Amino acid sequence: MQMKILSNYRILGDCHVSPSPDGSKVVLDSLQHEKLSILLYDYKIGKMRALCTQPRDLNVKKNDQNRLRRWTHGLKHYDVNAHPAFSRDSRRIIFNSCRSQVRLCEIVL
């Protein structure tokens, strides 16, 4: 078994990877200090691109009851956990948004 690096695109914390059912792409999230990015890697062209970027809600306080965990790596780590995933037909991506409240969002490819 050998590991192969697919992309040099810089991915930051809290990355969740989900391959498409048809095997052509991979969707993932990149949680940065002030923003969340939903990224798409395309096996055919061998490139990563950002599908969308959203500002994070940094107004949640450390001891707020709306938080799931304590601070992690100096960031408010669990104010959002996007977990992007493909639909069965590989044409849509569903993820948790982080705009002021966590909401279910969809990206149509």
Kindly state the DSSP code that residue 18 receives in the 8-state scheme: E
**Tokens (6 digits) for 51:** 């599908």
> Between residues 33 and 55, which one has the greater pLDDT?
55
pLDDT digits 0-9 by tens, 34-48: 788 999 999 999 999
- How far from 20 is each of 26, 35, 42, 87, CA to CA, in Å? 6, 24, 10, 8
Judged against a pLDDT cut of 80, whether residue 107 lies above it is answered with yes
pLDDT digits 0-9 by tens, 74-93: 444 455 678 999 999 999 99
Question: Would you list the domain boundaries of the chain?
Answer: 17-104
Find all residues with CB under 8 Å of 65, minimum gap 6, and list them: none
Task: Label residue 99 by pLDDT band (50, 70, 90).
Answer: low
Average pLDDT on 54-82 reads 57
CA angle 12, 15, 17 (to 5 degrees): 140
Q: What is the pTM of this model?
A: 0.77
Matching residue, tokens 């990355």: 15
